[in-house]
Amino acid sequence: MKLKLFKIFIFIFLFSTLFSQKGYSDTIYYINYSKVLNTSQAGKGAQKVLKDKLNKASKKYQKLEEDFRNKEKELIAKKKIITKDEYQKKVVELRKQFSSLQQDKKKSLDEIARMRAGSKNQLLKALKPILEKYMKDNKIRLVLDKKNIIIGDSSLDLTDKIIELLNKEIKSLKIG
């Protein structure tokens, strides 16, 4: 209980000192980072490239898995025709191939996830100076992420203004 009261006191103290300086707006603004990442030109472009890569990889691995299932069916059909030792060797070989396929698929998906994270970080790095300049020009002291706000006045939402500035500044991202 004491810790909770202490946190509340610190929160109130920080906000009172934060906005006591002259010349700065006494309003807290917010931005929807998800919307910025998803609707800016650079964000949309990156998502399209990554989605295309994911679809291409998905189709590739679906085809390979289908081929694998066909090989498995052929082997099962030959079970009574070939010797038991030969059958066991082919089963072991088929399992190795399947294991290799699963590892390749995982690597491919991990690579796409890595590229997605890299693109997001690249966009956020590009967004930071734009947001800092906007804050300085408009004498704003604090901007929060919308996902951390329960309710707020829509006039305090800077998302569309920041997207507009970001679109002027960055047209696309380098993915890879």
Does residue 116 form part of some domain?
Answer: yes
Does residue 38 form part of some domain?
Answer: yes
Does residue 12 form part of some domain?
Answer: no
Helix H or strand E segment including 30: strand 29-31
User: By residue range, what is the domain housing residue 105?
Assistant: 23-169
pLDDT at 5: 52
Does residue 158 form part of some domain?
Answer: yes
Contact 8, 137 (CB under 8 A): no
**Pairwise CA distance, residues 159 & 163, whole Å:** 6
Q: What is the CA radius of gyration of the chain?
A: 27
**Pairwise CA distance, residues 51 & 116, whole Å:** 10
Helices (H), the chain: 2-18, 33-39, 41-78, 84-137, 159-169
pLDDT at 125: 92
Residue range 89-143, pLDDT digits in tens:
988 999 999 999 999 999 999 999 999 999 999 999 999 999 999 999 998 989 9
Strands 29-31 and 143-145: parallel
Does residue 175 form part of some domain?
Answer: no
Looking up residue 103, the CATH number of its domain turns out to be: 3.30.910.20
The tokens for 26 are: 């006494």
Considering all CA atoms of the chain, what is the largest pairwise distance in Å, rounded to the nearest integer? 90
pLDDT at 76: 87
Does residue 122 form part of some domain?
Answer: yes
| pLDDT class of 2 with cuts at 50, 70, 90 | low
pLDDT at 17: 53
Does residue 80 form part of some domain?
Answer: yes
Residue range 22-62, pLDDT digits in tens:
444 557 899 999 999 999 999 999 999 999 999 999 999 99
Taking Cα atoms as reference points, which of 108, 123, 106, 110 lies closest to residue 47? 123
The tokens for 106 are: 């995982």
| Number of compact structural domains in the chain | 1
| pLDDT class of 14 with cuts at 50, 70, 90 | low
| pLDDT class of 144 with cuts at 50, 70, 90 | very high
Contact 27, 144 (CB under 8 A): no
Does residue 9 form part of some domain?
Answer: no
